[in-house]
Amino acid sequence: MLPRVGISHCLLGERVRYDGGHKRSEVVTGVLGSRFQWVAVCPEVDVGMGVPREPVRLIDAANGPRMVGVRSRGDWTDEMRSYSRSRADRLAVEDLSGFVFKQDSPSCGMSQVEVWDDRDTATRAGVGLFAAALMKRLPNLPVEDEGRLQDHRVAEDFVDRVYAYQRWINENSC
């Protein structure tokens, strides 16, 4: 049985991004596509942002980054955090063996996501709100972002980690 691996929906070529486009990844759909059963997730669509939509960014705040519309300054933080916790809980019981995140995404970026300060300056110190919730809920789950998967060694290592995790889960589920 192929491992079930979560994935940011746009990486499969679905037009769910803020601009109505996608970020189809040949590595994901080609090289890895035959090795995994994908479980697609788009947190921004799932919380009701729509397609197309205003882009959002992470804004530095005392109690953690806020997810805010670039032009309107509409704040999606509470909706995204609530959705992320709930979706992470549901994914925890869906036999996932890994997750591929969208690099640089304010919802799905697993590292080095831009966080903006009050001087309109960004640092690459953030984690997307959904990615953070999923990694907190499933700390041992193999995760990777699609940018790093362009490196053949990283991709093969991810495949190995996913299959090892699937074996571990199967052995410990009895």
What's the pLDDT at 139? 98
C-beta separation of 131 from 123 below 8 A: no
- How large a percentage of the chain has pLDDT more than 70? 99
What's the pLDDT at 174? 58
Each residue's pLDDT tens digit, 51-75? 999 999 999 999 999 999 999 999 9
Domain extent listing, the chain: 4-53+79-110+127-171
Each residue's pLDDT tens digit, 106-132? 999 999 999 999 889 999 999 999 999
Report which of 96, 126, 102 is spatially closest to residue 114, judged by C-alpha positions.
126
* Residue in the structure block whose two tokens are 């640092």: 123
Q: How confident is the model at residue 160 (pLDDT cuts 50, 70, 90)?
A: very high
What's the pLDDT at 118? 87
- How large a percentage of the chain has pLDDT more than 90? 91
- Residue 118 has phi, psi (to 5 degrees) of -75, -5
Burial annotation 94-114 (CB, 10 A radius, 16+ → b, else e): eebbbbbbbbbbbbbbbbebb
The three-state secondary structure class of 52 is coil
Give the integer Cα–Cα distance in Å for 36 and 33: 6
Q: How far apart are the first and last CA of the chain?
A: 17
* Average pLDDT of the residues in 84-111: 97
Each residue's pLDDT tens digit, 125-149? 999 999 999 999 999 999 999 999 9
Whether pLDDT at 173 is above 80: no
